[in-house]
Structure 1
C-alpha cells in the first residue's frame, strides 16, 4: 500500500482539496506531471498538495469507474433496478461474477489506496518546519478524517480488516484486526481530527473541505453504529415492507405495505460492546455539533437542498464532487440515478437512470412530503419515446393515472390529462425497472447531457447528525428530546410532526426506534445508507427475505448468513499472506 508517487497537475496544486470536495472549481489532470515526495517541498502549498492527493483518491480510485456508490447502495431492501445491473451484486452475488469482483475491488482496494496515500501524506506534513501549527494541524486533521472514513467503510462491509502501519514499510503482510480494534483506531483518528481541524466558522476554513464538525458528526455516527450493533438480540424493530406484488399476469397489482416486527439478531464482532455507553457517546458528540461547539450547521430548505449551488452549504458535512466531463476526476452518479440527456435542453434521456427506489419505499411517505412531491421524478422521456410521442409517469396511483392519462386505475375515462401532463405527450406506466421511484437528488448538474456530470455525492449530512441524536436519546430513555430532532427533519420536508401522545403516538421506545429507522430510510434514500442501517440493527436478513424474489423489477432479495459480510477479494490473498481465511460462506 506504499504510495511511491502522487499525480498532481499544476492547476491541482493551486486549487487544493476543495476541487475534489467542492463544486465551484474544476480539475484538469496532467498525466505527464509526476511529482515525487522530494519535489513537493516544505510550505503551506506543499501541505495543501498532500491533502489534495488524499481527496483525489475518492474520485480517481473509487467513483471514477462507476462502481461507487453501487457497491454501497444496491444491496438494500428499498433499492431496485434492471436485472442486467442488479443481477449479480444487487442479487447478493458478491463473488464470482465480473461485475461483483469489480465492485469489491473498488471498495477494498479503493479504501486501502486512500489509506496508503493518507499515511504517506501525514508523514510528510508532520515533517514540515516552514508552516504554522494551525495549518499543519488542519492538514493532518483532514488526512486523518479521510483515513478514518475509509476504515469505517471497510469495517462495516468486511468485519475484521487489516490496519495498515502508519510508518513507512514495504511489508504487505498485515493481519486482520478485530472489529473493536478497528473502531478504536477510527475513533482515535476522528477525535484528533475534531480538535485539529478548522471549524467552518474559522476565517482560514475553505468551503468544501471537511472540518471539525465533519469529524465530530462522523464520530457520532460511528458510535451509533457500534451501539445499535451491540444492542441485545431480540430488540424489536418494525419495518413496513413485504413482497412487491399480489397476483400475476393481468391480475398483477402492487401489494400494500405490511408492518412486520423483526427481532434483532446478534451482530458479529460487537457482542462485547456496551450499547448504553456507546449511545451516550453518540449523543454527546451529536449534541456538541448541534449546539455549535464545532461550528455552525443548519438544515437547508428542501427546495435548496439538492441544488448544485448548495453543495458546499453547511448541511453537507462531507461530500465528494467531480469535474464536469473530466475523464479522470469524474463520476457517473448523475448517469446512474438521473440519466444523461441526448443533448443540452433535450426532453429525452439518452441512457442511464437505472437505479431507483421501490414502490414500497414511495408508499412510506405522506401525500405532501417534499421528498416524494419534489424528490421523485414524476414524468420523463427516453430515447425510444421520440417516434411515438410517448413518456413515462410515476407512480401508478389513481391520482397520477388520472393526471397523466385521463383514466382511472380501472381504465375508465374520467377526464383529460392535467397539470404538468397536459402537454400533448402520451404518458404511460409499466411494472418494470423502467418505472421506479427515481430520485431527483442528482439531477442539477452543469451539463445534464454528459455521461460524466458533476453531481455531488453526500457521504455525511447534518440531517444524519440530527437523526443520530434522536436515535441515541431514544435508546437512552429520553423520548422528549428524541422527538424534537426527528421532527426537525420531518418539518423540513413538509411531513406531519410525530407526537408522543394521541393517534399514531410514538409512545414506546420500540415505536420511536422504528420511526427513526424508517425516517432514515426516507431521508437518505439513494445515499448508500440503508444496507448499513439494516446490518447494524441486525435486521438485514429479515428485511431482505421479507421481499425475497417478489421484488419490483423481478430481482432477488433473498439473502443468507454469508451476505452479512462482503468477501475479501482474491487479490488481497495473493499479496497479503497474513490473511488465510475469507469471511464465512465465501471461498
Structure 2
C-alpha cells in the first residue's frame, strides 16, 4: 500500500510538472509583451488596421490642410490670417513660423506614433525568415509602406529626421540622422513594400502598385546631395505599375458615387457621417455662403484655405488655366449662387478686411459633398460631415511623374506624349491641336510640367513636395502667394520647417543646436 501511495504521488508530480510546464509555455491572454504581439499575424493585423485609421486621420479637418498652406497653389483665407497671426506665419514666412508654432508641432506629432507602430511590426515580422507571398510577407510589406511613405513626407518637410529602425535602436537612438542615411532607409522600406505588398488589397490599404509608385517618387525626390536621386530607377518603378490602372473621366474622380475608380492607386476611405467624415468642407468652404445660407449649404465653410490668384486664374489673367480644360470647373468653385440666390458680403462686413475680402473669390471645390446639403434626403444638413474619399496616389499623378523622368533622361518626345495622354483626358477625350505639347526643350518642359501638375493635382497635397524637390519653392511661393509676397520675409531656409520646441524639450537626442538653420 505504501508503495502504491509512493507511485501515485510520483505520477501526480509528473502530471503536475507537465501541466505547469505547459502552463508556463502558454501565452497570457491579458498581458503580452511586444515580441509576442508583433510576431503574431492576427495581432499584427489588428495593429495595422489601427495604423491605417490613424494615418488617414492626418488628412482630416484643419490639420489635413496645414501642409497645403504657404505654397504657390494655396494660401490661407484673409480672415484666418487676421484672426490667427501665429498660424499666419505659415504663409507670411515671418517670425511666427518658429519652433513654438503649435500647428507645425502637431504635424510632426501626429505622424511619429504611426511611424513607430509600423516600425514595431517591421521588426516583429522581419526578425525571422518570411516566406514570399505569405500573410506575414503581406503585412510586413504594408507596414514598410506606411513607414516609408510617412518618412518620405517627414524628410521632405523637415530634412534630417530620426530613423525608427528598432533593430538598431541602441545605435540610432532618437537622433536626427544624415540625409543620405534617411533616404537610404526610406528607399529600402519602399522596396520591401513593393516586393511584399499584395497586388490587390482592401480599399484604403497598400498594394504593390502603390509601393512602386511612391518608391518612384522617392527616387525623384531624394536630395541630390545624397547621391540617391535617380530618374532612371524612378521611371522603372513607374513602368512596373502603370499598366494596372487606367484614366477615368476627370469628374468621376470627384463623384462620391464612383469611389476607388480604375485610376485610384490608393485613397483614404470616408463617408458623410461621424466619426468617418473628413470635415474638410467645414474648413475650405465660404464664410459668406455660410453666413447667407447656413451650415446646410454644402459649400459653406470658413475659408481656412483658398486658391492663390495663380491657381484659379486663366492664362491671359496671369494664371494656369487654358480655355477648354475641364479640370478647372471640377477643381475650383467660381459661382456661389445657391438655388437662384447669390450671397453677398453684407453679413460679414464686421470682419473689416478692407480690400482683402476673399470669401466670394474662387474656392477649393474638389471635396464638396452634396450629401451634406439640406436639400438632400440624407437629413445631414451640415457641411462639417463632408465625407468624400481623399486621393493619395492616382495614375495621372504618376504619369506626370513618369514624364518628368523621361525628360530628365533626354527622352523629351516620349515625355511630351505621356503628358498629352493626361491632357487629352482634361479636354474630354479630344485634345485640340493648339493644346498639344510638342517641341519643348528640356528646360521648357521642366517649367511647363509644374503648371500641368498644379492643374491636374490642385489641392491634393503634393504641391509643397513638388516645389521642394524641383528647387522652385522660394521662387514660386514668393511670386504667387499673396501673403508671402506682401511680407517679403521668405528665405531659402524656409524650404523646411523648424523642429518643434516640444520635441527638443522631450527628446534628449535632439537639442536646440540640432535645429534647422535659420530657426530658433
TM-score w.r.t. length of structure 2: 0.77
Match of 1:390 in 2: 342
Q: 3-state DSSP class of the match of 1:88?
A: helix
Of residues 475, 496, 499, the one that matches 2:408 is 475
2:114 corresponds in structure 1 to 114
Asked whether the equivalents of residues 325 and 427 of structure 2 are also in contact (C-alpha less than 8 Å), the reply is yes
What is the match of residue 146 of structure 2? Answer: 146
Larger Rg: 2
Moved more, 115-124 or 540-549: 540-549
CA deviations over 1:285-309 (Å, ceiling 9, x no partner): 112222x3xxx21112112111123
Q: Deviations over 1:110-143 (max 9, x none)?
A: 2211111112233445589999952111111111
Tell me, in whole angstroms, the C-alpha distance in 1 between the residues paired with 2:192 and 2:436: 46
Alignment length (residue pairs): 455
- CA 1:466–1:347 in 2, change beyond 3 Å: closer, same or farther? same
Taking structure 1 as reference, are residues 473 and 41 closer, same or farther at Cα in structure 2, changes over 3 Å only? Answer: closer
Deviations 1:50-82 (A, max 9, x none): 21021122244x345521232x10010121332
**Candidates 286, 296, 309, aligned match of 1:359:** 309
Q: 1:535 to 1:126 in 2, by over 3 A?
A: closer
Give the Cα–Cα distance (whole angstroms) in 2 for the partners of residues 338 and 300 of structure 1.
26
From 35, 40, 45, the counterpart of 1:48 = 45
SS at match of 1:458: strand
2:477 aligned residue: 544
Matches within 5 A, 1:67-82: 67-70=63-66, 72-82=67-77
In structure 2, the CA distance between the partners of 1:504 and 1:304, relative to structure 1 (3 Å rule), is closer
SS at match of 2:265: strand
Q: Which position in structure 1 is the counterpart of 2:444?
A: 511
- Confirm whether residue 436 of structure 1 aligns to residue 432 of structure 2: no
Q: Does 1:455 align with 2:354?
A: no
Richer in strand (by share): 1
Q: Distance in 2 between matches of 1:172 and 1:574?
A: 19
Identify the range of structure 1 (356-365 vs 107-116) with the bigger mean alpha-carbon deviation. Answer: 356-365
Q: Is the 8 A contact 1:483 1:498 kept in 2?
A: no
User: Deviation of residue 548 (structure 1)?
Assistant: 6.8
Question: Counterpart of 2:505 in 1: which secondary structure?
Answer: helix
SS of the residue corresponding to residue 266 of structure 2 reads: strand
| Cα distance in 2, alignment partners of residues 273 and 40 from structure 1 | 38
2:419 match = 486
- Cα 1:338–1:149 shift into 2, 3 Å: same
Give the structure 1 partner of residue 85 of structure 2: none
What's 1:222 paired with? 218
Partner residue of 2:136? 136
Q: Does 1:378 align with 2:334?
A: yes
Worse overlay, 103-112 or 179-188: 103-112
- Check the 8 A contact 1:59/1:322 in 2, yes or no: no
Aligned partners of 2:77 and 2:306 also within 8 Å: no
Residue 257 of structure 1 corresponds to which residue in structure 2? Answer: none
The CA distance in 2 between the partners of 1:303 and 1:518, in whole Å, is 20
Say if 2:38 and 2:125, in contact at 8 Å, map to a contact too. no
1:564 lines up with 2:483 in the alignment: no
Q: 1:498 to 1:538 in 2, by over 3 A?
A: farther
Contact 1:332-1:452 at 8 Å conserved across structures: yes
Q: So what's the TM-score if we normalise by structure 1?
A: 0.69
Distance 1:52 1:344, change over 3 A: farther
> Is the 1:308–1:445 Cα contact (8 Å) retained in structure 2?
no
Q: In the alignment, is residue 297 of structure 1 matched against residue 245 of structure 2?
A: yes
Query: Residue 506 of structure 2: which of 555, 564, 575 is its match?
Result: 575
CA distance, structure 2, for counterparts of residue 465 and residue 354 of structure 1: 29
Say if 2:473 is the partner of 1:535: no
Q: Distance in 1 between matches of 2:169 and 2:187?
A: 23
Q: Secondary structure at the match of 1:308?
A: coil
Give structure 1 stretches of 5+ with no counterpart: 1-33, 231-269, 394-429
Is the 2:474–2:491 contact (alpha carbons within 8 Å) kept by the matching residues of 1?
A: yes
Q: Residues 524 and 126 (structure 1 numbering): CA distance in 2 closer, same or farther, change over 3 Å?
A: same
Matched, 1:309 2:257: yes
Contact 1:375 1:440 in 2 (8 A): yes
Report the Cα distance in structure 1 between the residues aligned to 2:190 and 2:432, rounded to whole angstroms.
33
Once the 2 structures are TM-superposed, how far is the Cα of residue 168 of structure 1 from its aligned partner? 9.1
Residues 522-571 of structure 1: per-residue CA shift (max 9 Å, x gap)? 111111222222221112222222247578xx964741122111000011
Hey, what does 2:233 align to over in structure 1? Answer: 281
Alignment RMSD (CA, Å)? 3.7
Q: 2:176 matched to 1:176?
A: yes
Partner Cα separation in structure 1 for residue 259 and residue 135 of structure 2: 24
Deviation at 1:179, TM superposition (A): 1.4
Separation in 2, partners of 1:438, 1:35: 51
Paired residues of 2:368 and 2:386 also in contact (CA < 8 A): no
Give 2:191's aligned residue. Answer: 191
Query: 2: distance between equivalents of 1:158 and 1:46?
Result: 33
The residue correspondences of 1:254-265 to structure 2 (distance < 5 A) are none
Q: Of 316, 329, 333, which residue of structure 1 is paired with 2:280?
A: 333
- 1:220/1:281 contact within 8 Å kept: yes
Q: Which residue of 1 aligns with 2:55?
A: 58
Q: Is the deviation greater in 430-439 or in 49-58? A: 430-439
Q: What CA distance in whole angstroms lies between the structure 2 residues aligned with 1:286 and 1:133?
A: 22
What SS class does the counterpart of residue 393 from structure 2 fall into?
Answer: strand
Aligned to 1:262: none
Shift of 1:497: 4.7
Query: Deviation string for 1:198-237 (max 9, x for gaps)?
Result: 112xxxx3233210000000011111113xx53xxxxxxx
Please point out which of 200, 205, 212 is paired with 1:209.
Answer: 205
Q: Which has the higher helix share?
A: 2
Aligned twin of 2:3:
none
